[in-house]
C-alpha cells in the first residue's frame, strides 16, 4: 500500500535538496486497449515486459479511468484536464466529420503543451491526434513545437498496398488514409516503416534533440486500433495462438510494447530516468468483438459507460521520486495527468481544472466523485458506488468494491444511495454544456 505521506513520502522536504531540473513528462496513450490485456493487469497469454516495467517501477492504478468510452472525447479530456462536456466536445468524430472545419478541440481550451511551454518545455506529439483536422486545430497551433503523425481517427500501419510485410485480417475498415496522411509538421510524407515502429523512431529522435532541456512528449499510438495489421516477425512469436484474429492482435500489442521499450531505453541511455515522469494509459476500453481486446473482469467495452468502456490500464513511473512496485486502488482519472505534470514541473495549477495532483495524494479511501456523459448515456461514481444509465433510460446502481463486474443491480435495495447519487449526477450534469456536434 502507498504510504499515507503520499507518493513522494520523505521527499516532502525536497526544498532542502540540491535544485533539480524540471522533470520531463512522457505521456503514452494506447488506442482501444482493454483493461485485462497487459501483464501488469494479470494477462499471462501475451507478455508485455516494457509496459509492465512502468507499473513495476512506479504505481499501478486498478481504478484508473478516462472521461469517455470513445477516442475523441477521451483525448479532449486528457489533454485539457477538464471534462470535455464542459466545452461541448462530447461525441466521437469519425468519417467525414473529421474533415469538417468546425469540428475540433475548441480554441479557447488550453492543452497540456500550452501549460508546459511557458515553463521552458520543448513539446511534441507523435502519433494519432484526433482533435481536429482543420489547420486551426493542428497540434502546432495547440502548444506543440513538433508533430509527427496523422490527424484523424485511424490509419493503416503501412503505406499502399498495405500488405507488404504484414498479415491483415479483413474487418469493417473505413478508408482511414483518405485525406489523412502521415505528416511531419504540416507536410504530408510517405512513411515506409510499420507505423508503430515509426512512432518509436520519432520519439527516440525527439528525446535525442531535447535531452538537455525539459521536454513534454505526448505519444498517442494508434495501436491496437483497427485495421488489424501486424509485423510478420511479431506474428511468429504467437504461433501458439490458434485464433487468427487473436494472433494478429497479440502481435500488434507486442509491437507497441517493443516501441515503448525503445522510448524507455532511450531515456536510460541519456541518464534521464530520474528526471522523467512517465504515464501510460489507454484512451478507452477494448472493442472486444472486433479486436479480441479483453476488458476482463469488467462489464462492457468501448462505447459504453459500464466499467469495460471507461476503466483502463493506468500506470505511472518516476524513478527515484515515486516508490516502485506500488498498487493503488483509489479512483483516479485521466483528468489528473495535467495537474500532476504541472505540479511536478513547479508550475501553477489552474483552478478550472477538474483533475488532481496524483503526486500529492494518499491511498486513503475517499468519496471522490467522477462523472461521465456521452449522448444519452450518463454515469457517476462516488466512492465505491456507481449510478449508470446506458442508453435505455433505466438507471442501474452498482457497488464496485464488491462487484467490479457490475453484475448485481442494487437500485431496488439501496434507494437512498441511488437518490443521493442521482442528485449529485444532476448537479454535475447541470454544470456541463450542450454538445457542439
pLDDT digits (tens, 9 = 90+) for 78-95: 999 999 999 999 999 988
Residues 425 and 378 in one domain: yes
Query: Both ends of the chain: CA-CA distance in Å?
Result: 43
d(CA 242, CA 309): 27
Q: What is the DSSP string of 307-331?
A: HHHHB--EEEE-TTTSPTTEEE-S-
70, 302 Cβ separation under 8 angstroms: yes
Domain termination site, one of 319, 340, 360: 360
> Pairing between strand 24-30 and 187-188?
unpaired
- Indicate the pTM of the whole model: 0.94
Residues with Cβ < 8 Å from 269, sequence gap 6 or more?
none
pLDDT tens digits along 173-206: 555 566 899 999 999 999 999 999 999 999 999 9
User: In this predicted structure, what is the pLDDT of residue 430?
Assistant: 97
Using pLDDT thresholds of 50, 70 and 90, give the confidence band for residue 11: very low
Domain termination site, one of 360, 377, 400: 360
Give percent of the chain with pLDDT exceeding 90: 82
> How far from the centroid of its chain's Cα atoms is residue 226's Cα?
17
Domain termination site, one of 331, 360, 389: 360
List the one residue out of 83, 109, 107, 89 whose CA is nearest residue 429. 83
Residue 143: give its domain's CATH number: 3.40.720.10
* Count helices and strands in the chain by DSSP H and E runs: 10, 18
d(CA 188, CA 130): 16
275, 20 Cβ separation under 8 angstroms: yes
130 in active site:
yes
List the one residue out of 75, 62, 160 whose CA is nearest residue 109. 75
399 in active site:
no
User: Can you give the C-alpha Rg of the chain in angstroms?
Assistant: 21
The tally of CA atoms less than 13 A away on the side-chain side of residue 70 is 19
275 part of a folded domain: yes
Q: What is the mean pLDDT of residues 338-361?
A: 95
pLDDT tens digits along 383-417: 999 999 998 789 999 999 999 999 999 999 999 99
Instruction: Give the three-state DSSP class for 126.
Output: strand
> Pairing between strand 215-220 and 385-389?
unpaired
Instruction: Give the three-state DSSP class for 173.
Output: coil
Would you give the DSSP letter of residue 162? S
Exactly one of 50, 130, 152, 225 is catalytic; name it: 130
Placement of cell 532542502 in the chain: 16
Q: Where are the beta strands (DSSP E) in 38-96?
A: 59-61, 64-65
> Pairing between strand 369-374 and 332-333?
unpaired
Instruction: Indicate the average pLDDT of the chain.
Output: 91
Residues 329 and 352 in one domain: yes
Residues 78 and 173 in one domain: yes
User: In this predicted structure, what is the pLDDT of residue 3?
Assistant: 37
User: In this predicted structure, what is the pLDDT of residue 354?
Assistant: 98
Using pLDDT thresholds of 50, 70 and 90, give the confidence band for residue 15: very low
Residues 291 and 376 in one domain: no
Exactly one of 50, 71, 89, 138 is catalytic; name it: 71
User: In this predicted structure, what is the pLDDT of residue 9?
Assistant: 40
Q: What angle do CA 171, 227, 61 make, to 5 degrees?
A: 115
Cα–Cα distances in angstroms (integers) from residue 227 to residues 135, 178, 245, 291, in the given order = 26, 14, 11, 9
User: In this predicted structure, what is the pLDDT of residue 13?
Assistant: 31
User: In this predicted structure, what is the pLDDT of residue 178?
Assistant: 64
192, 154 Cβ separation under 8 angstroms: no
| Number of domains forming the structure of the chain | 2
Domain around 412 = 369-430
Residues 344 and 379 in one domain: no
pLDDT tens digits along 201-240: 999 999 999 999 999 999 999 999 998 899 989 999 999 9
Angle between helices 244-269 and 195-210 (to 10 degrees): 10
Residue 391: give its domain's CATH number: 3.30.1120.10
Residues 300 and 418 in one domain: no
Amino acid at each position: 500500500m502507498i504510504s499515507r505521506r503520499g507518493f513522494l513520502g520523505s521527499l516532502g522536504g525536497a526544498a532542502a535538496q540540491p535544485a533539480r531540473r524540471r522533470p520531463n513528462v512522457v505521456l503514452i496513450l494506447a488506442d482501444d486497449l482493454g483493461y485485462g490485456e497487459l501483464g501488469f493487469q494479470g494477462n499471462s497469454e501475451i507478455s508485455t515486459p516494457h509496459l509492465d516495467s512502468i507499473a513495476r517501477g512506479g504505481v499501478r492504478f486498478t481504478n484508473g479511468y478516462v472521461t469517455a468510452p470513445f477516442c475523441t472525447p477521451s483525448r479532449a479530456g486528457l489533454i485539457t484536464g477538464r471534462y470535455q462536456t464542459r466545452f461541448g466536445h462530447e461525441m466521437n468524430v469519425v468519417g467525414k466529420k473529421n474533415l469538417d472545419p468546425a469540428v475540433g478541440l475548441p480554441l479557447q481550451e488550453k492543452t497540456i503543451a500550452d501549460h508546459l511551454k511557458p515553463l521552458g518545455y520543448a513539446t511534441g506529439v507523435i502519433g494519432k491526434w484526433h482533435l481536429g483536422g482543420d489547420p486551426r486545430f493542428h497540434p502546432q497551433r495547440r502548444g506543440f513545437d513538433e508533430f509527427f503523425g496523422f490527424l484523424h481517427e485511424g490509419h493503416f500501419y503501412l503505406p499502399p498496398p498495405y500488405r507488404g510485410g504484414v498479415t491483415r485480417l479483413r474487418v469493417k475498415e473505413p478508408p482511414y488514409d483518405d485525406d489523412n496522411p502521415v505528416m511531419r509538421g504540416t507536410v504530408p510524407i510517405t512513411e515506409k516503416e510499420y507505423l508503430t515502429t515509426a512512432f518509436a523512431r520519432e520519439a527516440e529522435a525527439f528525446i535525442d534533440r531535447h535531452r538537455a532541456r525539459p521536454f513534454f512528449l505526448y505519444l498517442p499510438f494508434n495501436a491496437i486500433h483497427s485495421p488489424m495489421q501486424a509485423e510478420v516477425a511479431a506474428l511468429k512469436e504467437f504461433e501458439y495462438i490458434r485464433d487468427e484474429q487473436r494472433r494478429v492482435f497479440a502481435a500488434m500489442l507486442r509491437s507497441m510494447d517493443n516501441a515503448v521499450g525503445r522510448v524507455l531505453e532511450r531515456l536510460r541511455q541519456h541518464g534521464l530516468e530520474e528526471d522523467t515522469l512517465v504515464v501510460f494509459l489507454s484512451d478507452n476500453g477494448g472493442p472486444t468483438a472486433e479486436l479480441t481486446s479483453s476488458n476482463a473482469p469488467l462489464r462492457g467495452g468501448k462505447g459504453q459507460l459500464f466499467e469495460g468502456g471507461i476503466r483502463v490500464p493506468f500506470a505511472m513511473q518516476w524513478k527515484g521520486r515515486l516508490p516502485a512496485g506500488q498498487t493503488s486502488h483509489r479512483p483516479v482519472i485521466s483528468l489528473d495527468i495535467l495537474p500532476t505534470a504541472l505540479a511536478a514541473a513547479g508550475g501553477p495549477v489552474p483552478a478550472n481544472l477538474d483533475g488532481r495532483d496524483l503526486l500529492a495524494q494518499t491511498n486513503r479511501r475517499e468519496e471522490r466523485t467522477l462523472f461521465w456523459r456521452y449522448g444519452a448515456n450518463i454515469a457517476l461514481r462516488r466512492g465505491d458506488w456507481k449510478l449508470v444509465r446506458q442508453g435505455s433510460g433505466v438507471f442501474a446502481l452498482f457497488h464496485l468494491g464488491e462487484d467490479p463486474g457490475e453484475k448485481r443491480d442494487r437500485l431496488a435495495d439501496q434507494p437512498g444511495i441511488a437518490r443521493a447519487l442521482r442528485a449529485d449526477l444532476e448537479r454535475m450534469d447541470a454544470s456541463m454544456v450542450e454538445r457542439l456536434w
